[in-house]
Amino acid sequence: MPGTESHPVRVASESGDQQWTLTTSRRGRDWLIALTDHDGNSWTAEGPDLFEALRALRRVVDSLGIRLGVNGARRNAWASGMQRDMGEGRVVYLLTEGETGRPPQVSTLGPASLAEVGSVGEQDEQYARWLSSRPATGLPGSRIAAPIRATTVKSAHGSGPVTTRAAGLGA
């Protein structure tokens, strides 16, 4: 398949620490991702960007006790909205609670120690802790990748222009 890339990946499973194959490809604008073990078993997922496709795949294999040794599976990894939109989720930030400034960026599918990776739930919890540890400065970047909510505002008299605003939740 054109545009298909294969990546060797360290995996922790009930069979121990092994190297499997992670394959990525595209379907239109979406990312397809597949994990294949040495016995030919395969798990697949799809998402609007590489980070979200990886999270979808991890949701499938998490319940099987399988952990992927890639940066995007690290508990402290998160892709901002801009990384997802402009960079297709190919890089993630490594977040440290309480730190200010721009976090370091790494390749989403770059190798990571199996000791640093976790489930999608653990990653979500770590991200929530990181968000709550950030000072409320009001400066750009003080809340990386906060969920966005679109709001439509109409004039009070039912006439006039309709405007749409995007706002970070909890902002």
**CB 3 within 8 Å of CB 26:** yes
If DSSP codes are grouped into helix, strand and coil, which group holds residue 133?
A: helix
- Segments forming the whole domain that contains residue 89: 5-168
> Residue 131: how many CB atoms within 10 A of its CB?
17
Q: How many separate domains does the chain show?
A: 1
What pLDDT shows up at residue 169?
32
CA angle at residue 37 from 10 to 118, to 5 degrees?
A: 45
What pLDDT shows up at residue 170?
36
Q: Which amino acid is at 68?
A: L
Task: Answer yes or no: pTM beyond 0.85.
Answer: no
What pLDDT shows up at residue 2?
55
Query: Which residue numbers in the chain have pLDDT < 50?
Result: 1, 139-171
Separation between Cα atoms, residue 61 and residue 155, nearest integer Å: 49
